[in-house]
Structures are given as structure tokens and as C-alpha cells.
Structure 1
Amino acid sequence: MSNPGDADDRPITDIRDLAAYFSSGAKPPAQWTIGTEHEAFGFGLSSFAPPSYEQKGGIGELLAAFQAAGGLSPILDHGNTIGLKGEGGASLSLEPGGQFELSGAMLADLHATKAELDGHIARLHAIAPGLGLGFATLGFHPTATRADMPFMPKGRYKIMRAYMPKVGTRGLDMMLRTCTVQVNLDFCSEANMVSKMRVASALQPLATALFANSPFYEGKPNGLLSNRAQVWTDTDNARSGIPAAVFEPGFGFEAYANWLLDVPMYFVYRSGEFIDTAGASFRDFMAGKLPALPGIHATLGDFADHCTTAFPDVRLKKYIETRGADAGRPEMMLAQSALWTGIFYDPAALAAAEALVKHLTYAEILALRAAVPVSGINTRYGAGTLRDLAREAVAIARDGLKNRARKNAAGEDEQAYLAPLAEIAAGAPTQAEHWLERYHGAWGGDVTRIFAEAAL
């Protein structure tokens, strides 16, 4: 999640101010970049237990060690370091249960994304073992109960912790026991944003299926391939899922802003404090009628914070976030970035992707989203399965990356990063299916074996 407190204190006078906020993110194609965010579960190397913030060798000490290594400055919450900022826009942050997140910088190409990921993993390898910690990238914690998970000392999480059980049964699981990977990509105009939001939203069930990586629950198979995705079906549906507005006529910046205004608030951030406004209306805040802050009017900075409290599978900020995938092994994280970069950043590829999904109705997209946590890539689709759709989507992305022609020092373009997805599309097991094979075979039913094999 983003850290709140955008310094933009301009008052909001009209819905058009909010549309202009999104529009201000538009960039010409020559300036388009790629940002990748990914989370990992910490675990004790001997106990496999999730580390707390306060314990010796815990998350607090991990952040201190990263800061001491240089190049990073602290993000503080009531004196606690709850994240680190680096140069170029990258940061390290904490999810509620201590999931450790790299929020990557916006980079020019996938080769730079790989270098950033490799550097992050190298730093983890240099620091974490000395604290007795390892980190594994999985969509849902494979062994811990909800009670086993710690809570990080971030003000917004205290508010969410109290509010989540009021609006769904799995919100605390989402906060504490899930990890994801998302890709942040640019748009050049409102029309370009609309095309990308619709394509990405229609293809989110496929992304969930391709990257499914959470088949265990408290030490046993859970009957699912993506328990993370299943959690999101009952986590506060007023702010998550695939909004109908994306597919309605006239969708654009203002329509998305209107959808956001109907998302209940969590907080207002003032003078370093989170003021609990959970369930309140941002429209009332704009009108100066917020019960917690009577007479105070919302600013654009408040709206930027509010944007971070909506969790659709595809989220609009001043760029587009595709968010529907489980965290996974490094090559899969790169493949996630490659898939969306290939589709989004070549006009012919984006047009082909639009044609690929144009027949899907909103109801059909929702039905696929509901099915893929259980059946994954084998979910029925047309006369075949989602594996057939995967072959077409990966081919479109490959053409897009070929047309981009961004080469590394060895003269290789970005197509190679799609290799894991091409293998799955051709019939190879997904990550979740691989782990189930290991569980029923070499592990002899011992799920704790996953920590070593899924470790970064």
C-alpha cells in the first residue's frame, strides 16, 4: 500500500478537479515506464513462524539493517520505522502482517525491472539470514493461522483492523495472510486509459489463473489454487473486485472518480495522525460535512490518500495498477510485468487484446473471476479452457514486446521474460499445481517444506 500524506493541499471544488487529478498522470508513449511491486512472507529459518515487528531479529531490525546498509531514508509512524524510501521513487514498505514489499521505481524497460529485482534479492540475502529470517513469495500464508500473524505498527492498519470484520468475512485474512505482485503502467490520454482499464479488467481472471500460487491453508491443501483470490471475494466488495463502471458507456476519469466517491472512507491524515473516518462518505468530506472533521473540506491530497483505500483488481491512480496475481517466484514476477507491458505498450498489441476480449460480457467476466480460485488455468472458457485464452494473450504480449524492441547489453529484447507463461499456456503446471505435486510426493504431506523451496 502507499504511504499517505500527499502534500497537495489544494481544495476540491468540483468533480472535474478529481478527473484532472487522474488526467495529470498522462504521458506521451516515449516517456512510458514500468513499476513492479511485490510482497513476500518473512519466516524464521528454524521455526518457520512469521516474525513480529518488535522481536529480536524481527521486522523492525530488518528495516534498521536495510537503512544501515545505506541509500535509504526512514518512513516513520509515531517514531516507528514502517518503511524506507530510496532514490528514484523505489521504497520498501510493510503490509499489515509484516509482508515485506518492494515498491519498485518506474523504470524504462523490463531489463531494468530485472536488475532492480535482482538487487533487492541480493540485499535480502545479505541481511535477512543474519537475523534468522527468510522470505518466501506465495499468495497466501501456507501454515499460519490468523492468530499467528503479527500486526505492524501503522496507524492506517489499526483503523482497517477494526473496520474489516464489519464489511466481509475475509478482510483480516487479506491484510495478514496474502501477498501479491502488481504492475504499474502509464497511459497517454483518457481514451488510452479506458482501453487499458477495460482490457486489464477483462483479463484479470486469466492473470489470477496463470499466477495462482496459494493452494494451502494452515498446513493442508485448501481445495483451491488461489486462496488469495478467494479471499478477495469477501473482503469488502464496496471497494474491491471489478467495478461495473469500467465497462459502462462514457467511462473515463470522471466516471472512475465518481465510483471512488462511493467507496467508504477509512481515514483522514492530518499532522502525522490518522483520524478514523471508517465508513464515512468522501462526498460529505468534500462538502465539509464529515462528522469527525466538521467544517473541514477535503483536499486533493486527501483524495490521493482515498485512492489508496480502494482495492479493485485494476486500480487507477495517475497510472494503472494491475493487481490480480498471487506473489510468486522471481521469474513469474518478471513475467507478470512482461505480460502487461507487452499488451499495453504497443498499439497493435493493445488493439489485438481488445479484440480478444470484446465478446466477454461483464457478467461473464465476473463468473470467470469467481471460478478461477478453484479451477485456475483449467477453468472452462468457450469451447475450451483459460489455457486457450492464455496462449492467445501471451502471443499478443510477445508481439508487443518484439515491437517495442527494447534490448539489453547482450542484444536481447524483452520477449524472454514471458517464457514461464508460454510454458503454462502450452500445458506446464502453474505454481500452485507444482506445489500440490510436491506436497503429495516428495514432501510427504509436510507443507513446511515449501519455505525453503519458495524462498527468494
Structure 2
Amino acid sequence: MVTPRISYAHLLATPNPKHVDSLLSFFENGRAQRGTGGFGVEIEHLPVHNADDTAVSYYEPNGVETLLLRLRPYYDESKEYWENGHLVGLARDGVSVSLEPGGQVETSIGILHTPEDLNALYSRFRQEADPIVAELGWRFVAYGYQPKSSFADIPVNPKDRYDAMTSYLGRVGQFGPCMMRCSASTQVSIDFVDEHDAIAKMRIGTAIGPILAWYFRNSPYFEGRINPYPLLRQRMWDYLDFQRTNVIPGLFDQRFGWEDYAIDVLSTPLMFADLTHTPEALESGATAKELHRAAFYENAGDVYPDRELNSYEINHIISTHFNDVRLKNFIELRHWDSLPVERAERLTEIVASLFYVPANRIRLESYFDGLREEDVLEAKANIQARGRDASPYGQPLDFWQEFLGIEGILVDVPGDPAHPDVFQA
């Protein structure tokens, strides 16, 4: 007997068929344009003062805005992103620099053809940025959470969407403001060749993500104290807003496909509507605030016109979902804390081995054949409850270290009272 798929969003709002077709075309174009074998890596950095390790804000004198302004000469002027009169993004071939809500500085790097390519592009960014931040009196920290500051001490940057997200996420879950203002991550993106390949990779990524997160955990602190959670990032996202986080509903049903994912995304309230690239809104003379507005109860069909969506609108709609694994015109694996580049490169090597080496891929698909959404939720809870004594999917962590080819990875996190302050190379 096949377990029926349940998505309560579908009972509340039926997405516009033209919007569904738009997302399906978007996924198909990703397949056609990218093929397979490439990577994208995003590393978010926590800016902290040298004097006391507290967070550096966007607005303060010699803060994050000053860094971006001084980095401008290194980037393509035509690709700058400004909002409300403030610079919030830079880009050039191979690298873009953007901001998370609390002023975290994100570098998006790719397309990479081997994991080793990461270091060259990333090193150039750091060679340009580090002397500037040193002169400004602060530095970048690669942790999953601010070491000293509380979310209450950090203002959001000038993007309008972050005001709306603060109002929304601060009321629906436990950790919205914490995640927005203090957390930082490493994300790895991979390609897919068709719908079947994409769904299979999304299932594998969802299943093994929490296990890899254990070996690449890097959050010794939470709200100025020792972090009590084995996997802080997972804890924050899982308890944030279940309709847009955690495991994609229905992913492990064998009938699941791109259309199911599109319907789920389009049926969920947007939180925030971005109409800055919607011609009908621009032609209507809408004000800046009307082009950027909260959409707490409105889904895409309520906000966007009855036509095919453009790529900007599609990317915005998908960006309001934060599942463990996210489908765009590539697959985004989102489980991991911010990491130093050496560890990010090692993570990318492991992802490459598991997803792009046919023998490893077949082995994973065979092992997880018949896996259910409930099994993934149980594995996550097992790691959170038992830490190093966990047995996700019924197997001890030593088994997974060998099975996933991650021998010699992080053993202990500095600052965690449950573990010595040592690392293993």
C-alpha cells in the first residue's frame, strides 16, 4: 500500500498552472544548460571585532557597508546590487559577494569543475578583503554562529525582505531571529541531468546531510554561551517554520517529481513579495515599498500575474523556501555550518565522490532504497539526542564514517564541554 502524500498547503490554495509550468521549464533549462559534474560553493562569514569578538554590523562606522564600498574596485560595476541607497552586493566572473540578514558576508563561488578549484577563487577574495577588514579593526570568523553576540544585538541590513522576514519568522518558530542575524553556513550545489537524477540526488542529500553535518559541525557557541545542541544549524532550521524548512514534503514517495515540488513551493505563503522585476507592477507606477512588501498570507498566485513567470520571479519564490535540500536550476545542499576553506574543500570532495562517482551513487541509492520521510526525521532526532553515541538509520557513526568515505574528519569542536578541544587532520 502506498502512503498518500499530504501537503496541507494544497488544500488552502491551488497554484496557477502557468506558474507551475514556469517552474518545470526552469528546472528543465537547468538540466539542459548545466549537464553534470560542476559545483557551486557558498561560504558565509561572521564579521567580528578584533577587540572583543562581538558582531560587526552593516551600519556602524567601519562596518560591513564600508567593506563593500572598498571592495567595489575589484568587482564588475554593472553587477553591483544596491537597495535603499546602500550597497548590498558585488559580483564578477566566478565570485559574487552578498549579505545575509545580520551582515554576514557570503561568497558564492562557481561554477567549479573540481573541488580543488575552490581554493584559487576563494583565496583571491580573501586576499582582497582581509587587508581591508584588518584596517577596519575586525575579521572574518568561520563558525556556524556568532561567538559572543546575541541576535538581539544585531540589526538587519538594508534589504527590505529582511524586515518582513523578521516580522514573520519571529512569530512562527523558536529560532527565526537567531538564524537570520547570527548564523552562518557552507552550502554546496551540484548538477543534475534529468528529473529522475535530480529527485534521486535530492533524496540522497536529504538522507546523508545530517550525518555529514555531524562530521563538519562548527558551532561551538550559541547566544554568547557554549552551544548545547549537537547540530545547532539543524536545530534552528527544523524548529523555524515547518512549511518551508526541513524535509521536502512527499520527497520519498516514489511518485514524487518536479511538479510536486513546484506545487508545494507555489502553494506556500511567500513571506515577502519582490516585484522589482515584474513589468506589470513597474508599469503601474508602484512605489518602492509596494515593489518590496510583506506577503504573510499570499502565495505566488496571489502576488504575480496570470502568465508565465520570469527567471527573477522564480528565483525569488524558491528563495522563500529553506528545505535541507533545495531545487533551483541546480541542487543546493544546505546542511552545514560555516567552514574554513580547507574544510569546505574537503566537504566538496566528499560530495563529489558520493554524487558524481557512479559506483558510490549506486551504493547509496541501494542502501537507502525504501527510505521514508519519517526515517530521516528519526535519524535527525537521534543525532540531536545522542550526539557522538547516535545511531542514525540504525548504524553507529563509525559505520557512517567508513561508508561515506569521511575518515579523518573533525572529531571535536572547540568550546564544546562534551568534547576535548582538539581537531583531527
TM-score (norm 2): 0.85
CA distance in 2, matches of 1:14, 1:48: 46
Cα 1:240/1:441, change in 2 over 3 Å: closer
The answer as to 2:226 corresponding to 1:241 is no
**Residue among 70, 90, 101 paired with 1:84:** 90
Shift of 1:29: 7.9
- The superposition leaves residues 167-215 of structure 1 with CA deviations (integer Å, 9 ceiling, x where unpaired) of 2121111101111100111101111111101111111211221111113
- The aligned runs of 1:66-81 (5 Å cut-off) are 66-71=71-76, 73-81=79-87
The answer as to 2:256 corresponding to 1:276 is no
In structure 1, stretches of 5+ residues that fail to align are 1-10, 289-295, 395-420, 443-452
1:92–1:100 contact (8 Å) kept in structure 2: yes
1:206–1:377 contact (8 Å) kept in structure 2: no
The aligned counterpart of 1:422 is: 407
Shift of 1:220: 2.5
CA distance in 2, matches of 1:373, 1:68: 45
1:42–1:98 contact (8 Å) kept in structure 2: yes
The answer as to 2:343 corresponding to 1:332 is yes
CA distance in 2, matches of 1:382, 1:439: 24
Shift of 1:31: 5.4
- Helix, strand or coil at the partner of 1:92: strand
Shift of 1:341: 1.6
Cα 1:438/1:240, change in 2 over 3 Å: closer
- The superposition leaves residues 334-369 of structure 1 with CA deviations (integer Å, 9 ceiling, x where unpaired) of 122122121122222211111232254321210122
CA distance in 2, matches of 1:163, 1:77: 21
**Residue among 226, 235, 239 paired with 1:230:** 235
2:42–2:106 contact (8 Å) kept in structure 1: yes
1:40–1:137 contact (8 Å) kept in structure 2: yes
Matched letter for residue 342 of structure 2: E
- Helix, strand or coil at the partner of 1:103: strand
CA distance in 1, matches of 2:245, 2:394: 30
Cα 1:348/1:79, change in 2 over 3 Å: same
The aligned counterpart of 1:137 is: 142
The aligned counterpart of 2:186 is: 181
- Helix, strand or coil at the partner of 2:254: coil
1:51–1:150 contact (8 Å) kept in structure 2: no
The aligned counterpart of 1:343 is: 354
CA distance in 2, matches of 1:102, 1:29: 21
Matched letter for residue 85 of structure 2: G
**Residue among 12, 16, 25 paired with 2:21:** 16
Matched letter for residue 316 of structure 2: D
Cα 1:202/1:47, change in 2 over 3 Å: same
The aligned counterpart of 2:4 is: none
- The superposition leaves residues 90-109 of structure 1 with CA deviations (integer Å, 9 ceiling, x where unpaired) of 21011000111001121211
2:233–2:335 contact (8 Å) kept in structure 1: no
Matched letter for residue 239 of structure 1: R
- Total equivalences in the alignment: 393
CA distance in 2, matches of 1:18, 1:103: 23
The answer as to 2:169 corresponding to 1:161 is no
**Residue among 256, 273, 276 paired with 2:261:** 256
CA distance in 2, matches of 1:195, 1:98: 35
Cα 1:14/1:305, change in 2 over 3 Å: closer
**Residue among 197, 200, 203 paired with 1:198:** 203
- Helix, strand or coil at the partner of 1:152: coil
CA distance in 1, matches of 2:387, 2:55: 28
In structure 2, stretches of 5+ residues that fail to align are 1-15, 277-287
**Residue among 297, 302, 325 paired with 1:314:** 325
- The superposition leaves residues 303-337 of structure 1 with CA deviations (integer Å, 9 ceiling, x where unpaired) of 32100110000000000000011112222211221
The answer as to 2:368 corresponding to 1:357 is yes
- The aligned runs of 1:9-158 (5 Å cut-off) are 13=18, 15-27=20-32, 32-71=37-76, 73-88=79-94, 90-158=95-163
The aligned counterpart of 1:436 is: 416
Q: Give every structure 1 segment of 4 or more consecutive aligned residues whose post-TM-superposition deviation is greater than 6 Å.
A: 437-442
Shift of 1:71: 4.7
Matched letter for residue 87 of structure 2: T
1:213–1:326 contact (8 Å) kept in structure 2: yes
- Helix, strand or coil at the partner of 1:173: helix
1:38–1:181 contact (8 Å) kept in structure 2: yes
- The superposition leaves residues 68-102 of structure 1 with CA deviations (integer Å, 9 ceiling, x where unpaired) of 345564211122101111124x2101100011100
Shift of 1:28: 7.8
CA distance in 2, matches of 1:81, 1:276: 22
